[in-house]
């Protein structure tokens, strides 16, 4: 009994420390969502400047990897990984490569808002798969947050605006691939430096797209600022900053929680598409965005 009295405060302190760490993870995932929300906007601007998918993705990943390698070298964190961990990160990179191609091809076929909201069916997929494979519990609060997030997406998504059905299929396919990416990443990124993990994951995508661009003879540097602007934005803001923030927060907050928190992205993308691309936002979409914001608040205080 005497020992239990001494152990209880220590146990409470450890639990409180874990909750604080999870809260910090939440904030980093939310920051990542804000960064990533710029992806479709930069993508549309790049297409408008005449850049095709393969060279765009080649420059995106090449610049992101070079930037992260520079940060790792300056900070002294560039070091070899265990063989199994390196293989896992490279496998995630291969999945990221395919998913990014599918996502950007869908962007050419569907409106930004439709693509974003179809892609964001993945929180439901992740929550269910994480419960099965990672043994993450689906608490009542988490279930309510997921329901609010999906309801918000349904409100802002109107079937008449789906555009080309091929774009819708590709967006949903990217959602499924990203779900698997998150499940694997939750385990692999534990106790890993987020910058180093991101560098390894993005390196395979950089090699793949640079190789494809060279094969097509399409890796010539853009000649205008209008083309370089969105490329640098995608590489740094929507890739390097976004992924490092996400991989810092993911192992702390968990796959399903991170997926639900990331539904903040479509709200940010809708706002940016209205401000920068002049895409109309009907009033019902504001209601949907409000539900998504409520879901984020609910899961953050779970």
The predicted-structure confidence for 36-60, as pLDDT tens digits, reads as follows: 999 888 988 898 898 988 899 999 9
Q: What is the pLDDT of residue 11?
A: 61
Quote the CA–CA distance of 239 and 245 in Å, as a whole number. Answer: 10
Q: What single string gives the DSSP state of each residue in 124-153?
A: HHHHHHHHHHS-----HHHHHHHHHHHHHH
**Mean pLDDT score of the chain:** 83
195 has pLDDT over 80: yes
Quote the CA–CA distance of 157 and 141 in Å, as a whole number. Answer: 24
Q: What is the pLDDT of residue 220?
A: 87
Q: Is residue 6 very low, low, confident or very high in pLDDT (cuts 50, 70, 90)? A: very low
Q: How many CA atoms lie within 13 A of 41 on its CB side?
A: 24
The encoded tokens of residue 96 equal 């990221």
Quote the CA–CA distance of 185 and 251 in Å, as a whole number. Answer: 8
DSSP 217: T
**Residue 50 vs residue 191, higher pLDDT:** 50
Taking each helix axis from N to C terminus, what angle separates 53-75 and 39-48, rounded to the nearest 10 degrees? 130
Q: Is residue 221 very low, low, confident or very high in pLDDT (cuts 50, 70, 90)? A: confident
Q: What is the pLDDT of residue 1?
A: 44
Q: What is the pLDDT of residue 3?
A: 45
The encoded tokens of residue 178 equal 């990203």
CB 194 within 8 A of CB 137: no
4 has pLDDT over 50: no
Over residues 86-119, the pLDDT tens digits come to: 889 989 999 989 998 898 888 788 776 677 777 8
Number of other CB atoms surrounding residue 245 within 10 Å: 22
71 has pLDDT over 50: yes
DSSP 192: S
Number of other CB atoms surrounding residue 177 within 10 Å: 18
| Long-range Cβ contact pairs of 277-282 (< 8 A, separation 24 or more) | 277/41, 277/44, 277/112, 279/111, 279/112, 279/113, 281/113, 282/158
Helical ranges in the chain per DSSP H? 2-36, 39-48, 53-75, 83-109, 112-119, 122-133, 140-156, 165-188, 194-216, 225-232, 242-253, 255-261, 264-276, 283-300
Whole-prediction pTM: 0.82
Average of pLDDT values for 2-18? 59
Q: What is the pLDDT of residue 139?
A: 79
| Domain extents in the chain | 25-300
Longest CA span, the chain: 75
């Amino acid at each position: 009994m005497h020992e239990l009295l001494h152990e209880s405060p220590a146990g409470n302190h450890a639990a409180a420390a874990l909750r604080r760490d999870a809260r910090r993870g939440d904030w980093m995932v939310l920051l990542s969502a804000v960064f990533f929300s710029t992806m479709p906007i930069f993508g549309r601007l790049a297409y408008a400047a005449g850049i095709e998918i393969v060279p765009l993705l080649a420059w995106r990943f090449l610049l992101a990897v070079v930037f992260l390698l520079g940060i790792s070298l300056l900070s002294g964190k560039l070091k070899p990984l265990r063989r199994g961990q390196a293989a896992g990160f490279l496998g995630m990179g291969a999945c990221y490569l395919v998913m990014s191609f599918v996502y950007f091809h869908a962007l050419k076929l569907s409106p930004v808002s439709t693509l974003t909201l179809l892609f964001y069916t993945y929180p439901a997929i992740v929550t269910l798969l994480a419960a099965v494979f990672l043994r993450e519990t689906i608490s009542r609060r988490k279930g309510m947050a997921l329901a609010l997030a999906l309801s918000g997406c349904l409100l802002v998504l109107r079937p008449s605006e789906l555009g080309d059905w091929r774009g819708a299929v590709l967006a949903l396919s990217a959602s499924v691939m990203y779900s698997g990416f998150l499940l694997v990443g939750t385990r692999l990124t534990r106790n890993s430096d987020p910058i180093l993990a991101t560098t390894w994951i993005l390196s395979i995508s950089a090699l793949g797209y640079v190789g494809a661009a060279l094969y097509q003879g399409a890796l010539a540097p853009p000649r205008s600022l209008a083309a370089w602007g969105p490329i640098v934005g995608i590489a740094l803001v929507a890739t390097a900053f976004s992924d490092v923030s996400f991989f810092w927060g993911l192992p702390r907050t968990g796959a399903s929680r991170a997926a639900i928190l990331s539904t903040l992205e479509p709200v940010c993308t809708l706002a940016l598409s209205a401000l920068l691309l002049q895409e109309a936002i009907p009033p019902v979409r504001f209601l949907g965005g409000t539900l998504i914001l409520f879901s984020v608040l609910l899961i953050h205080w779970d």
